[in-house]
Amino acid sequence: MTAPTRLRVTLLRLGIWSCLAPSSVLAQEAGSILGRVVGSETGEPLANVRIELVGPPGATLSGEDGRFILVGVPAGDRTVRISLIGYRSLTVDGVFVRAGRSVRLDPELAPEALELPGVTAEVDRIRLIEPEISATHEVVLGRELRELPADNVAEVVELAPGVSDGHFRGGRVGQEVYVIDGLEFKNQLEASSSGSGLELPPTSLQELEVLTGGIGAQYGNALSGVVRYVTRRGDAERWMAAGSFRTDHWAPDDLYRGFSSLSVTAGGPLSFLGPSSTLFADLLVQGLQDADPRARGLTCLRQGDGDAALDGLIRDVAEDATTARLYCPYQDPSFPHQQGEKILGFLRWDQAIGPGLGLTASLLANRFQRQLYTSELKYNAENQLGQRTKALLAMLALDWTKQAVGSGVHVTARLSATRLDRHLGALDPWTFDGRGRIGGVGLSDFRFLGEDFVRSPIEEQLLSGSPVPGYRDPGGSTGSPYGPAGEGIFFTEGTTDLANWSRSEFLAADVVGEVLSAAGHRLRGGASAKWWRVESYERVLSHLAGSSPNYTRFFPTTLNGFAEVTLAAADELNVYLGARVEAFQSGLSFRPDRHDFLSPVVDTEWKTAILPRIGVTGPIPGTEGRTAFRFNYGVVSQPPDFQFFLDTSIGDSLRTDIRRQGNPNLTFERGTAFEVAVSHLFTDAVAATLVGFRKELTNLVSGNLGFPGVAPNQFTTGDFGTVRGVELSVRGGWRRVRARLGYALQKATGVVSSALSDEPEVDGEVREEFPLSFDRRHSGNLALFLGRAAGDPDPPWSVTTVATLESGYPIVRGEEEVTSGVTSEPTHLPWTFQVDVRGGWQFGRLPGCDACGWRVLAEVKNLFGQENVVALRKDTRTVAPPAETVEALARDLAIPEPIPRESPRYSAQIDLDGDGRITPAEFEKARLAAALDRFDPSLFYDDPVQVRLGIEVFF
Amino acid sequence: MLGRLTALALVSVALVACQDATLPFEATDRPDESQSLPRQLTFSEADDRSPAWDPGTDAVLFSTEGFPPFVAAPGLLLAVPSGGGAATELLPDLQFPGGPRDWFASPTPSPGGGRMAWAELWGVRDSNLCPGTGVTCATELPTEGVAPRLAEVRLRVASADTGSANRVLRVSMEGLAELPSSGGLTSYAVSLHPFQALFHLEGSAVFRPSWSPSGDRLAFSDGLRLLIWSVDGGDPAPIPSTEDGVHAAWSPDGEWIAFTRLVRGEPVAFECLHSVLLGPVCRQERVEYPIQGRVVTVVRPDGSDATEVGPGDDPAWLPDSQTLVFRRQGTLWTAKRDGSSSAQVTGTEGGREPAPSPDGTAVVFARIDPRFMTHDLWVVALGGDAR
């Protein structure tokens, strides 16, 4: 075997099997390169070899033992030059550095006397197994993100085994934290009900990592998962740009959903600011004529949706010639009153400002606004419920790197400011009548009725005692297909009565430092602080004068610090030890007993938590390194959502307006988690990992557990739960095919499913665990990348497929379980199955632009048109209510005498014989039709078939 | 190359396509029947009466019994678009849900708009003078034993928009007097004049006011004669030669007043007793004046030149001030002021109380619905000759 061949094989082998040195998962967006340089002829270590990055600054020397470590290397594809006087220099291309990871590179240098061609490293971007990583994680690279048939990053996160509908390993929504270029970000006010509130364009990411187990000490605010984003930086050599547009506006009606998406990215050097200054910009604009399309579209109850009695009612309406037109009068493949738009912008500037010193400034801005379809208002042509979420994140990071022989120090300090602003309320009709839009996208904000008023000083509002301007009593009858028979069922006049907004801002400062050695040891520590300003406004019955809002402004603080060490022990065994200290203070004063107005008002105290974390990982002896194990244990915690400090009347999914009393004295939600995993490399192309885990959560916030001495419906931390399960992931990588298969089997139990759960109040003395409403037992997914999507540059075509197969959630927990404690298996929703495909064909140079390439894209979501059911009624366990429920609604209004045509209540729609009078009998028939329509099951279904065409141009 | 260009062209065409969101549902609550004649304007089972065409709004004003969602008053004034549609309450300051349950009738807009006159029936008596008793009379007349129900009518004039700035004229209606008790029985002297019988039997708006063209005077009937009231001051003055005149109608040119003369028959005197199980509790000494005929008559406002147009009642003027439309033999007719050129208006069977449109091309009237024995409003076209 010749030397070059040997080197290439060595690199290839290292790339597949051991090119990463022991490490845990880090917060920083930079990684490191470590290894050992030897002479190709002697195999002896070479000292004083210069290892240098090409492009970004960074260089080090090897030690006497030939070992080196280069720290602070920006994530991404890097080129490394290795040189030593008397030896032929070696340039290694395609060294893929991942944020927070150490890439191992063991070059062999040949004496100058030997002829040696240049070498290109042929390493996998993601290794099939990682015996030194103690975390369970899923990594999606930027290239893959851009190929996946996903409209947003959240859809990609769902591909990680154990993640389903925003639940990470059976945890509640909001038990995860997002890390953007090292900055820990969470919608601390209302993550459990409104999500993260911040979104990045998929094209802006260098990589995305989802951690569900073995979460390191540097992460807090998360009981169940971490999503880590590493953003792209501009290319240091040349400007590159790409633009794509996808739409279904060309599609026939039954496939048209009103989707259009424009994405533009550009990045490159800012030469006038120096050789290492780069800029990257990304803009994503999506127009959504139907912001939440469903498989059946706007539909209604059909025969077979419910029981025989309901079928009879449907027949009575649909097969009677006089009432047939009242059966399901409003159908469409798309929803009405559900328009929306999303605009995401990202800007990043990187600048070297001195030896080993770099500055990164980034700005992320979001605006997502949409109408929220509600069946009560579907015949209201004027006023609809809408929501607007705006987010702004500005971050400044200072990165300092100190290289030494055999070691390196890397310190990052960040300062960031964030604002999340959400408004929920009745939309001003101007929003759609007077606002300029192109392709469904308008540049200006949605307008809400009375927005200025509800954001004016609360004292002025209370003094005025007036309703929210523009709000009117929801009601009306004309304009629906049922006229007066729709009264109380559909609101064709007036507005919704909700006016709700919140704003949370924080200023964050953090510093993280790490010391790495060429032997693979690592020591890291850091601290951060966040100073919050939170405002929350909530008003129900906004149309009524004198109805008072819930409004609170307060200033919480969160602090944390962590330290962790990774020790590379003998036999490639790695030990991870970490500890984290968390603290928060709500900043609220409160009266513990509201009924006693003389009781003292007390200030909330600091809450603290200490979180140890341990991990052990390494290859199993005797397997030649093809089988590895890991074990980890950790204590996790997170402050409760700040919203639970406050009173609330809304938020429960049934809009029951159950008032819950806030509790500013809530403490940390806590948990312990451990897992054991085994990974095995079956062939050089196929590997699998099996993980078993158990997570016990305590102190979970609940709004409906009763305890002695606690006000009814007051938020407490009296809930608890357990999640246990196994996850299997299989990966395969070939030249033109890359595949990931994931399967998770888990069981999530607890007392109640969420703090705002609609589940019945239970006695705190007999708290039993039951399968939670989001207890999805089985979930599997497949991601398949073919052709160019798999990284093969040769074929002009690319195909990416994502398939998911999941069992359904429990529908009911069983009343008998509450009282008797007898556990019975609940009824579940049906399994769901969906396949999404994206294909592309690259045509080479774009006509008229020699420097441009272009390709055509075609995308199909829910390829097989599966009508997946994602919700069922608890009472019938179908999408339909019981016949008696429909009849009861129909009966709750009757007319004692006919309604003549000259009556304002008259509607020809239900004057079935056209004689100018709506008789009580006609009214009764129409009322039944209206009641059937009211229970339209449109929202019980998941994604419809969506077909888009697109074009992408790049240079 | 051709393939690439074709692909580019196809994709480009697809990408520039633009569709709208799903449109809001549009319900046609009311069919448009404004062009069809004859057309029915009202359909309620209540008694819709005294239509009048509002020249300002092209709406038809009328009185009816209150029905949901309006106030449940015995007499409610509404306006309905002449082309058909939803009715609205007149005089919103006086008529509103939850408001007083007055008995308003005969809305009459002033010729120039702005004001409206109407009648408020005050103290309408029960048809049984002694409620809860059985009545036994010596004769078998159709009005046997019933009380003269109209006691007082208040003519009111107000702003047409709101009903504010009210002017009121109290008009006592003759027919009932209490006698000294006799033998422990409450006794009444009843004179059932023709107009009282007409009100009782047909609900006729005998007191209907009519504006002079100048809009400052009203002609009306107190049941026994016509009078003219200067609404801005002064007492009403009787119009000579209008005895037993009801249904006043002032011609658009102001020269004539048409009315219905009730031909009074020979009086019939008799006694009625009201009894309960233990025996009689009150008695009536009645004199009834049967209606022997109804004659449409015109007279000048000063009472001169009284001329009979012919048999009929409920007269109304066409805009030419020469032609009258009125009821005769259960249908509507037109005739010249002198009685000539009489002609039946087709499609008006069962109609009464006609009110011509301001342009004279159509007439709105009340028509009996035999199912409920109440009236609905209809609009028919008037033939060219009639105009």
pLDDT digits (tens, 9 = 90+) for A500-525: 999 999 999 999 999 998 888 889 99
Partner-chain residue, chosen from B22, B84, B85, that has the shortest CB–CB distance to A336? B22
DSSP state, A941? B
Q: Is the pLDDT of residue A877 over 90?
A: no
Write out chain A residues lying below 8 Å of B8, CB-based: 843, 846-847, 854, 951
Q: What is the pLDDT of residues A418-441, one digit of tens each?
A: 999 999 999 999 998 888 888 778
Q: What is the pLDDT of residues B354-378, one digit of tens each?
A: 999 999 999 999 999 999 899 999 9
Contact B127, B98 (CB under 8 A): no
Which of A118-132, A169-183, A218-232, A400-414 shows the lowest mean pLDDT across its residues?
A: A118-132
A951 and B12: CB-CB below 8 Å? yes
B15 and A247: CB-CB below 8 Å? yes
Write out chain B residues lying below 8 Å of A330, CB-based: 25
Residue A203 has which token pair?
Answer: 């094209």
**Please, which pLDDT band fits residue A826 given cuts at 50, 70 and 90?**
low
Overall average pLDDT of the A890-917 stretch:
93
Per-residue model confidence (pLDDT) at position A756:
77
Per-residue model confidence (pLDDT) at position A705:
74
Q: How many residue contacts between A and B have a Cβ separation below 8 Å?
A: 136
Q: Which residues of B touch A (CB under 8 A)?
A: 4-5, 7-8, 11-15, 17-31, 40-45, 67-69, 78, 80, 84-88
Per-residue model confidence (pLDDT) at position A148:
95
A-interface mutation test, from B28, B43, B90, B378, most A Cβ less than 10 A away: B43
Per-residue model confidence (pLDDT) at position B188:
94
Q: Which A residues 222-261 touch B at CB under 8 Å?
A: 245, 247, 249-250, 256, 258
Per-residue model confidence (pLDDT) at position A817:
45
Q: What is the pLDDT of residues B154-169, one digit of tens each?
A: 999 998 877 777 899 9
Which of A209-213, A569-573, A636-640, A887-891 shows the lowest mean pLDDT across its residues?
A: A569-573
- Which segment, A24-33, A133-142, B161-170, B258-267, is predicted with the most confidence on average? B258-267
Write out chain B residues lying below 8 Å of A908, CB-based: 28-31
CB atoms < 10 A from the CB of B80, how many?
23
**Please, which pLDDT band fits residue A760 given cuts at 50, 70 and 90?**
low
Q: Which helix (H) or strand (E) holds B5?
A: helix B2-16
Is the minimum CB–CB distance between A478 and chain B shorter than 8 Å?
yes
Q: Which helix (H) or strand (E) holds A883?
A: helix A883-891
Burial (CB count within 10 angstroms: exposed 0-12, middle 13-18, buried 19+), residue B305:
exposed
Rounded Cα–Cα distance for residues A246 and A256 (Å): 13
Rounded Cα–Cα distance for residues A61 and A73 (Å): 15
Q: Kindly report the three-state secondary structure assignment for every residue of A233-260.
A: CCCCCCCEEEEEEEECCCCCCCCCCCEE
In 3-state terms, chain B is what percent helix, strand and coil (to 5)? Answer: 5, 45, 50
Question: What residues does B169 pair with on adjacent strands?
Answer: B155
Q: What is the pLDDT of residues B207-232, one digit of tens each?
A: 999 999 999 999 999 999 999 999 98
Rounded Cα–Cα distance for residues A18 and A21 (Å): 7
Q: Which residue has the higher pLDDT, A29 or B306?
A: B306
Residue A151 has which token pair?
Answer: 């409209």
Three-state SS for A147?
Answer: helix
Contact B44, B371 (CB under 8 A): no
Q: Is the pLDDT of residue A95 over 50?
A: yes
The string of DSSP codes covering B42-105 is ---SS--EEEEEETTTTEEEEEE---TTS---SBEEEEEETTS---EES-TTT--TTS---BEE
DSSP state, A114? S
Q: Which residue has the higher pLDDT, A4 or A875?
A: A875
CB atoms < 10 A from the CB of A264, how many?
18
Overall average pLDDT of the B66-88 stretch:
92
Partner-chain residue, chosen from B11, B20, B29, that has the shortest CB–CB distance to A483? B29
Overall average pLDDT of the A869-874 stretch:
88
Write out chain B residues lying below 8 Å of A938, CB-based: none
The string of DSSP codes covering B322-384 is SEEEEEETTEEEEEETTS-S-EEPTT-TTEEEEEE-TTSSEEEEEEEETTTTEEEEEEEEPPT
Contact B309, B258 (CB under 8 A): yes
Rounded Cα–Cα distance for residues A179 and A219 (Å): 9
Which of A168-182, A399-413, A656-670, B363-377 shows the lowest mean pLDDT across its residues?
A: A656-670
Residue A954 has which token pair?
Answer: 């790049």
Bond before B69 cis per omega within 30 degrees: yes
**Please, which pLDDT band fits residue B274 given cuts at 50, 70 and 90?**
very high
Rounded Cα–Cα distance for residues A1 and A524 (Å): 42
Contact B252, B317 (CB under 8 A): yes
Rounded Cα–Cα distance for residues A342 and A442 (Å): 10
What residue type is B50 in one-letter code? S
Per-residue model confidence (pLDDT) at position A122:
42
Rounded Cα–Cα distance for residues A454 and A141 (Å): 43
Write out chain B residues lying below 8 Å of A329, CB-based: 25
Contact B327, B351 (CB under 8 A): yes
Write out chain A residues lying below 8 Å of B29, CB-based: 478-479, 483, 906-909
Q: Is the pLDDT of residue B27 over 60?
A: yes
Partner-chain residue, chosen from B21, B27, B30, that has the shortest CB–CB distance to A290? B21
What residue type is A541 in one-letter code? L
Q: How far is B4 from chain A (nearest CA, A)?
A: 7
Among A288, A250, A159, residue whose Cα is nearest residue A800:
A159
B-interface mutation test, from A902, A903, A923, A936, most B Cβ less than 10 A away: A902
Contact B130, B282 (CB under 8 A): yes
Q: What is the pLDDT of residues A720-737, one digit of tens each?
A: 999 999 999 999 999 899
- Return mean pLDDT, chain B: 91
Partner-chain residue, chosen from A336, A847, A917, that has the shortest CB–CB distance to B24? A336
Rounded Cα–Cα distance for residues A894 and A888 (Å): 12
- CA angle at A196 for the pair A359 and A265, rounded to the nearest 5°: 50
A906 and B84: CB-CB below 8 Å? no
Partner-chain residue, chosen from B14, B23, B68, that has the shortest CB–CB distance to A949? B14
CB atoms < 10 A from the CB of A277, how many?
19
**Please, which pLDDT band fits residue B119 given cuts at 50, 70 and 90?**
very high
Contact A62, A48 (CB under 8 A): yes
Per-residue model confidence (pLDDT) at position A202:
95
Per-residue model confidence (pLDDT) at position A797:
96
Overall average pLDDT of the A211-218 stretch:
91
Overall average pLDDT of the A100-123 stretch:
68
Per-residue model confidence (pLDDT) at position A301:
95
Per-residue model confidence (pLDDT) at position A13:
35
Q: Is the pLDDT of residue A67 over 50?
A: yes
Rounded Cα–Cα distance for residues A895 and A901 (Å): 15
B41 and A379: CB-CB below 8 Å? no
Q: How far is B34 from chain A (nearest CA, A)?
A: 14
In 3-state terms, chain A is what percent helix, strand and coil (to 5)? Answer: 15, 45, 40
**Please, which pLDDT band fits residue A53 given cuts at 50, 70 and 90?**
confident
Q: Is the pLDDT of residue A162 over 60?
A: yes
Contact A778, A806 (CB under 8 A): yes
Contact A551, A536 (CB under 8 A): yes
Q: Is the pLDDT of residue B8 over 90?
A: no
Among A588, A589, A567, A593, residue whose Cα is nearest residue A578:
A567
Per-residue model confidence (pLDDT) at position A195:
87
B14 and A290: CB-CB below 8 Å? no
B-interface mutation test, from A482, A842, A901, A948, most B Cβ less than 10 A away: A901
Contact A952, A248 (CB under 8 A): no
Residue of A nearest to B8 (CA): A856
Q: Which helix (H) or strand (E) holds B311?
A: strand B307-311
Q: What is the pLDDT of residues A576-596, one digit of tens each?
A: 999 999 999 999 988 877 777
**Please, which pLDDT band fits residue A485 given cuts at 50, 70 and 90?**
very high
Q: Which residue has the higher pLDDT, A243 or B383?
A: A243
A-interface mutation test, from B10, B19, B32, B80, most A Cβ less than 10 A away: B19
Write the CA distances from A384 to A375, A381, A467, integer angstroms.
Answer: 11, 8, 18
B27 and A481: CB-CB below 8 Å? yes
Residue B377 has which token pair?
Answer: 């409003």
Overall average pLDDT of the B238-261 stretch:
97
Contact A346, A281 (CB under 8 A): yes
B80 and A902: CB-CB below 8 Å? yes
A903 and B12: CB-CB below 8 Å? no
A900 and B68: CB-CB below 8 Å? no
Residue of A nearest to B62 (CA): A902
Q: Is the pLDDT of residue A851 over 70?
A: yes
Per-residue model confidence (pLDDT) at position B385:
44
Overall average pLDDT of the A812-818 stretch:
51
What are residue B355's phi and psi, to 5 degrees?
Answer: -140, 110
Contact A202, A150 (CB under 8 A): yes
Partner-chain residue, chosen from B7, B13, B86, that has the shortest CB–CB distance to A904? B86
Overall average pLDDT of the B324-350 stretch:
94
Q: Is the pLDDT of residue A763 over 70?
A: no
A-interface mutation test, from B12, B29, B96, most A Cβ less than 10 A away: B29
Write out chain B residues lying below 8 Å of A478, CB-based: 27, 29
Among A688, A689, A690, residue whose Cα is nearest residue A732:
A688
The string of DSSP codes covering A150-175 is -SSHHHHHTTSTTEETTEETTPPTT-
Q: Where are the beta strands (DSSP E) in A309-453?
A: 340-354, 357-371, 385-404, 407-426, 437-438, 441-442
Q: Which residue has the tokens 């009924």?
A: A595
Rounded Cα–Cα distance for residues B116 and B101 (Å): 19
Write the CA distances from A153 to A146, A646, B98, integer angstroms.
Answer: 10, 31, 58
**Please, which pLDDT band fits residue A894 given cuts at 50, 70 and 90?**
very high
A847 and B68: CB-CB below 8 Å? no
Is the minimum CB–CB distance between A379 and chain B shorter than 8 Å?
yes
Rounded Cα–Cα distance for residues B92 and B161 (Å): 8
What residue type is A899 in one-letter code? I
Write the CA distances from A360 to A25, A264, A347, A351, integer angstroms.
Answer: 21, 21, 10, 6
CB atoms < 10 A from the CB of A138, how many?
22
Contact A213, A693 (CB under 8 A): yes
Q: Which residue has the higher pLDDT, B387 or A558?
A: A558
- Return mean pLDDT, chain A: 88
CB atoms < 10 A from the CB of B363, how many?
26
Q: How far is B99 from chain A (nearest CA, A)?
A: 18
DSSP state, A814? -
Rounded Cα–Cα distance for residues A368 and A343 (Å): 6
